[in-house]
Amino acid sequence: MYIYLNGNIVHQSEAAISPFDHGYLYGLGVFETFRTYGGHPFLLRDHLSRLQKGLEALNIETNIKEAEIRQVVRALLKKNGWEDAYCRLNVSGGPGEIGLQTTPYEHATTILFQKELPPSIPLREKEGVFLRLRRSTPEIDERLKSHHYLNNLAAKREIGPSPDKEGIFLTGNGFICEGITSNIFWIKDGAIHTPSIETGLLNGITRRFILALAEDLHIPVHEGFYRVSDLESASEVFFTNSVQEIVPVNRAGNITFAGSNGQYVRLLHENYRKYVTYLNSIEDMKEGNTHATND
């Protein structure tokens, strides 16, 4: 597999970073995961916007340009011989002196790698597992998609390696927060319910897209602080992330749900797939610029 590293495309066996990279020493870095459909990086503009905000929060002075990332994505797909791929764009503070740095990071390490995916992802059900481990609070005011992943890793160890399960984090106060690598939604009384970002969840790009789709489809949405009992009285439950799209839940605890037979899950999935080969940003969809592309 070939990857992009600081301006060059190299084979993964030749890639290396400094042992003094502050992304390695102190977890000083952020990343985005997105996927391509027929070569198109879906919602790339939104992913890069969130990445740039994270870099600013970490005082990493680098400007990630959309046109350049698009070119890199295309070049890697061609080099690797793929069209549909998982992409991870990772930016760390780069090498520095030993010790915590308060001045800006001016020599970021930028890596983009890919993994081949099938062109179409069917609705695959998972079991939701309420975690004993509580969700950690964000490092700063809003949770970043950062290298600080111990809380997620420990949660995954708690539920085990099965790909058919996803853990559900509760906050320290017992409110539903998010999945280990996903956001969570449920349907109750004909409306979509999802935890508020004030619970400390990661405001996922796919989460935002689902909320925009719901508005377009005139489905009521409620964001707030919810207990487990609120979810248990739902008719449908589903997770979302940028690679697995919409993941219906068939069971959580002792409660069963509609899973992939759910009316709203199927409606949202059908409409989700209409946009994947050309949409650059959620704002484009809202403004009706759905066929504008920079590819």
3-state secondary structure the chain: CEEEECCEEEEHHHCCCCCCEHHHHHCCEEEEEEEEECCEECCHHHHHHHHHHHHHHCCECCCCCHHHHHHHHHHHHHHHCCCCEEEEEEEECCECCCCCCCCCECCCEEEEEEEECCCCCCCCCEEEEECCCCCCCCCCCCCCCECCCHHHHHHHHHHCCCCCEEEEEECCCCCEEEECCCEEEEEECCEEEEECHHHCCCCCHHHHHHHHHHHHCCCCEEEECCCHHHHHCCCEEEEEECCCEEEEEEEECCEECCHHHCHHHHHHHHHHHCCCCCCCCHHHHHHCCCCCCCC
Same-domain pairing of 215 and 89: no
Which CATH number do you get for residue 267?
A: 3.20.10.10
Q: Mark whether 147 and 9 lie in a shared domain.
A: no
Do the domain assignments include residue 291?
no
Same domain, residue pair 130 and 266: yes
Instruction: Specify if 278 maps to a domain.
Output: no
86 vs 75: CA distance, rounded Å = 14
> Could you give the number of structural domains in the chain?
2
Chain segment 203-256, per-residue pLDDT in tens: 999 999 999 999 999 999 999 999 999 999 999 999 999 999 999 999 999 999
The model carries a pTM of: 0.95
Q: Within this chain, do residues 237 and 139 fall inside the same structural domain, yes or no? A: yes
User: Are 45 and 8 within one domain?
Assistant: yes
CATH number for the domain spanning 68: value is 3.30.470.10
pLDDT per position as a tens digit, 143-196: 999 999 999 999 999 999 999 999 999 999 999 999 999 999 999 999 999 999
The answer to whether residues 259 and 249 touch, using CB atoms and an 8 Å cutoff, is yes
Q: Are residues 111 and 153 in the same domain?
A: no
Overall average pLDDT of the 85-91 stretch: 98
Amino acid at position 242, single letter: S
Instruction: Indicate whether 229 belongs to any domain.
Output: yes
For residues 184 and 237, the answer to whether their CB atoms sit within 8 Å is: yes
Do 16 and 90 belong to one domain?
Answer: yes
Distance of CA 190 to the CA centre of its chain: 26
